[in-house]
Amino acid sequence: MLASLLVTAGTYAAAPFLFHLMSKDQAVIDLGVPFLRWRFLQITGMVVTASLKSFFDGLGKTLSEMENVQTDAARFARLEDDFHRQLAEGTGKPAIVNAAFDAYIYGTGRTDDRVESISSREVLPLLPQHDLVLTDPPYGIGYAANPIVGKGKKASNHAGKAWDDETPPPWLFGLLQEKGKHLIVWGGNYYPLPPSRGWLSWFKPDGPPSMGHFELAWTSMDMLCRQFERSIGATNAERVGHPTQKPILLMGWCIDMAPDNATVLDPFMGSGTTGVACAQLGRKFTGIERDRAYFELACRRIEEAQAQGALLPPETASTPQQTGLALEP
């Protein structure tokens, strides 16, 4: 590209001289000089386009190969390094690229404060299809930054966060439909999802004026609507500091709604309630969470639930009126 710019600049300046060498006809010179100048400007544009195309073709080829060798860890790592190098060289921004690739991603187990630049868009394509995607994404109503409980009283156990200021982008829901045989999305009334007759509802009889008395979940399943009733007060003992935490029994009830539920994915894991319900039901669980504090909290809760073993039998989870667990010590 630099060479083409130098040649174009030289030709642009030398165009009158070159045409004087080829012809003494002033009419030819007057027409030829602008033509030659514009022609070389076009050549520069072609060179820039070809260079960018080569760059993106190289990235696309590497990504395609990475997708095809996910089961070959060594080859995948080599291709990931190749992608990393191409991106750093092509963008000329190695510091930004290094920050992204040093973050927690692809199941490496590494964490970094810069992980907030990484999203489910990078992680989800690497995952296999699950039986059920059960998730509670941000509703875009700003509740997380200023949670309210009771009669206008601000909750004191939640640090203000901005993750609930916007809803997830539309592409995410299309990707989720590829990653789950069945989908249950809480807050589905806030998102551009296709029509469904199988809605779920969580009715909160003691919901304060600052909250809705029920929440809706969109499902991809062709079934009748169902309602789960459980008071907010009944969940106080299990609350761990997440402003939009769902009850464990509610998520267990949702899991039991799906015809196939051996593997469950939650790309907005939050405090890990879906994972806890999976551990209690003996299901396999995959969770994604970008907030480090919530991620670590979810891991602790899920590990504790796994240590206790499967405590919640399917017939218990499918009883929405139940208010507690009758567990053996």
Clarify whether residues 71 and 217 are in a common domain: no
What's residue 324's pLDDT? 33
Q: Write out the two tokens for 170.
A: 């539309």
Q: What is the mean pLDDT of residues 62-76?
A: 69
Residue 161 has pLDDT above 90, yes or no: no
* Of 16 and 302, the one with more pLDDT: 302
Clarify whether residues 156 and 264 are in a common domain: yes
What CATH number did the domain enclosing 126 receive?
3.40.50.150
**Which pairing describes strands 200-203 and 226-229: parallel, antiparallel, or unpaired?**
parallel
Which amino acid, one-letter code, is at 153?
Answer: K
Residue 229 counted as domain residue: yes
Rounded CA-CA distance 284/276 in Å is: 11
Residue 328 counted as domain residue: no
Residue 157 counted as domain residue: yes
Clarify whether residues 205 and 270 are in a common domain: yes
What's residue 113's pLDDT? 37
Residue 76 counted as domain residue: yes
End residue of a domain, out of 32, 67, 102: 102
Q: What is the mean pLDDT of residues 205-224?
A: 85
Clarify whether residues 85 and 139 are in a common domain: no
Residue 62 counted as domain residue: yes
Clarify whether residues 303 and 231 are in a common domain: yes
- Percentage, residues of the chain above pLDDT 90: 28
End residue of a domain, out of 102, 129, 156: 102
Residue 194 counted as domain residue: yes
- CA neighbor of 301 nearest in space, from 267, 326, 269, 327: 269
Q: Are 285 and 278 in contact (CB under 8 A)?
A: yes
Give the model confidence (pLDDT) of 24-33 as tens digits.
788 888 888 8
Clarify whether residues 149 and 285 are in a common domain: yes
For the question of whether the overall pTM of this predicted structure is more than 0.75, the answer is: no
Clarify whether residues 188 and 310 are in a common domain: yes
User: Using 50, 70 and 90 to split pLDDT, how confident is the model at 312?
Assistant: low
218 Ramachandran zone, left/alpha/beta (phi>0; psi -120 to 50): beta
Give the model confidence (pLDDT) of 167-200 as tens digits.
887 777 888 888 999 999 999 999 989 999 999 9
Clarify whether residues 44 and 96 are in a common domain: yes
Clarify whether residues 166 and 290 are in a common domain: yes
For 223, the domain range is: 120-317
Clarify whether residues 73 and 160 are in a common domain: no
End residue of a domain, out of 102, 128, 154: 102
Residue 109 counted as domain residue: no
- Number of structural domains in the chain: 2
Residue 273 has pLDDT above 70, yes or no: yes
DSSP assignment of 180-201: EEEEEEETGGGS-----S--EE
What's residue 104's pLDDT? 35
Clarify whether residues 43 and 158 are in a common domain: no
Residue 268 counted as domain residue: yes
What's residue 21's pLDDT? 82
- Cα 292 to Cα 111, 118, 133, 159, 268, distances in angstroms: 8, 12, 22, 14, 12
**Sign of the torsion angle spanned by Cα atoms 21, 25, 30, 34:** negative
Q: Are 303 and 273 in contact (CB under 8 A)?
A: no
Residue 3 has pLDDT above 90, yes or no: no
For the chain, the average pLDDT equals 77
Least confident of 28-32, 146-150, 178-182, 207-211: 146-150
